[in-house]
Structures are given as C-alpha cells and as structure tokens.
Amino acid sequence: MAPVTINIISGRSGTGKTTILERLLPELAGRGLKVAALKSQIHHYDLDLPGKDTWRFAAAGAAVAGMTTPEKFILIGTDRERGGLAAALAMLREMDLVLFEGDRQSPNPKIEVVRAAVNKTPLLPDNVIAVVTDMADLAVPVPVFDLDDSRGLAGFIEERFFSGAAGGGPESEAALTHFDRSGRPRMVDVSAKEQTLREAYARGEIVMDPATLARVRDGAMAKGDVLGVAQVAAIMAVKETGRLIPMAHPLGVSGVEVDFELVEAENKIEIGVRVRLAGQTGVEMEALTGVSVAALTIYDMCKAADKGMVIQNIRLLEKKGGRSGLYRREQ
C-alpha cells in the first residue's frame, strides 16, 4: 500500500519549511510512524557527479545506485517513464508517511507555511489541509498551527490520516461483533464502509531438527522444493480464506508477498506473508491464514524426516487502512 504523502509548501522561499519538517519528524516518529522526508521538484543535485562511482554504476545500467555505511544508506535511481516522484514513492512503500518539501502543483494533501515577514497572503492551492504561520489573526478555511507547534501539527496529521495508530483504534462493538441480536452467528455487513487501500503483514515460524533444516536449505527433501511449494500454498490459502474462516469475507486480493528466513542458530524457518487490496474490510485473516498454511505445508513435506517439528508464534505484525488506521505490533 502506498504511503500517505503530504507536501509542505509556501508561496516564497525563506519561510522555514525545512525547519518545520525538521521539528515535525521526531514528533511523528514518537507516535510510531515510519516517516520519509524528501526535497521535491529540484532540478539537479551535486551528489551524483559525472565520473563518480555512483554515476558510473548508473551509466553502466544499474536501475538504482547508492552508497552505504554501517548505519546509513543513500540510493539514486532513474525512471524516465514514471518520473522521479512516482519511482521514489514505489521504493518507499513500507513507509507510513512521506513528507515532501515543496511542489505547490502536487495533487497530494498540502500544508502551507505563511510568515508575516515573507508572505502575508497564503496561496491556498487545491488540497491544502492546514496552514502553519506566525500570524495570530490569519483567517483561512483550514486548521491553523503556530510555527512552533510541532506537537499539535503532528497530532493533526495522526488524527487525520492514522486515526487509532497508537493502540490499533478498535471500532465500535457493534461493528466488530459476529453475532446478531438473538445471539446467532452472522457475517458483518461491510457494504456501507468506505473502500480504501488495506494491507496486513503476519509472521510465524516452524522449529525443526538441525538436520531437517539443512535438508530444506539444500533442497534435499524427497518431496522436492519445500519453500517453493510452501510459497504457492500460502498464496492459495490467502485466496481461500473466505471459504476457510466462517465469518471472513471473500475478498478480491490485489497482491500477496511471501518471505522465508532460515534461522540456523535457532533451527527454525520464519515465514512472513503480506497481503494488499483495495476494499471495504481488512486482510489480517488472509495474512494469518497464509502463514499458517505455509507452515503446515512445510510440516507436510518434512514430516517423514522429522515428526517433532513445532509450528508457533503466528501473529499479526502490522495492518494499515480502514477506520482503525495503523496498527503495529510492539516486538
């Protein structure tokens, strides 16, 4: 699911957009949000100079070139068809929020900065959702925040785009119950709910003997490619969740990603399943079902060698979208 994107704009330079961003970032991070900050609509930058290594990598055909240190990284890419903005957002899809400094023409939600010493009259282009200013008497049809009120602005962003992020934001009891007034089971009616982008990521693990794990790693199991079959099983299970879980809705899932990590120090395989769709209900059950069936498939393919395998710790790590907003499990 694409992250929420907001542009911080102003009518003129020198209004302090960078400083506002700098103060806003720790406030948003403190609310548990993954936030990226980008300078938008610049015409050139000096990092990727001709002749430098990253320039040479890109010239040789690398889709993305970059540099890393033990703590940091920087990536440079080119996408002439989509443009830099769309390409950057595609790479940042694991972020919750991307803040762009600049670009008044963007269709994204915008926060405008107005300072008395620089630009007393706000531009208020389409989709401005708030104004940050040092003018106490500024009259605009959107919420107004003081230049120094980073906490208030962060709270506004969280409330507007990530309602319920702090604790999962449970919906009303009536909206969640799977029983009607007479106590009989029912499938919840979601027809009145807004169709939004939704995403869920679940993980689980299967613990086995070291020799079994080695055979899975080396592709030496008699039944074949264990992880390849488990990956297909997870995808099939995601698509069948509405048939397997009595009160789950049949969903038109738009994307499924399955990942495996062999943790030899703990003799286990960790399984991750990420599910996305645009719809009226979430995909948490689909992600959890995918993990469960992948683990069962691994057990089935390895049981002749190791019947003592243990499937455990299946849990939801993250969900996005819907009225309850963002949920992220604390590890």
User: What residues are labeled active site?
Assistant: 300
Alpha helices in 162-313 (DSSP H): 173-176, 210-218, 226-244, 284-302
Strands 97-101 and 4-10: parallel
Q: Return the amino acid letter for 157.
A: I
88-112 per-residue burial string, b: 16 or more CB within 10 A, e: under 16: bbeebeebbbbbbbbbbebebbbbb
Question: What secondary structure does DSSP assign to 162-184, as a single string?
Answer: STTTTT-----HHHH--B-TTS-
Are the beta carbons of 9 and 104 closer than 8 angstroms? Answer: yes
CA distances from 90 to 67, 86, 242, 305 (A): 19, 6, 29, 42
CA atoms of 169 and 323, how far apart (whole Å)? 8
In degrees, rounded to 5, the angle at the alpha carbon of residue 298 between the alpha carbons of residues 295 and 302 is 140
Q: Is residue 277 helix, strand or coil?
A: strand
Q: What are the residues facing 272 on neighbouring strands?
A: 203, 259
Q: Are strands 97-101 and 110-114 parallel, antiparallel or unpaired?
A: unpaired
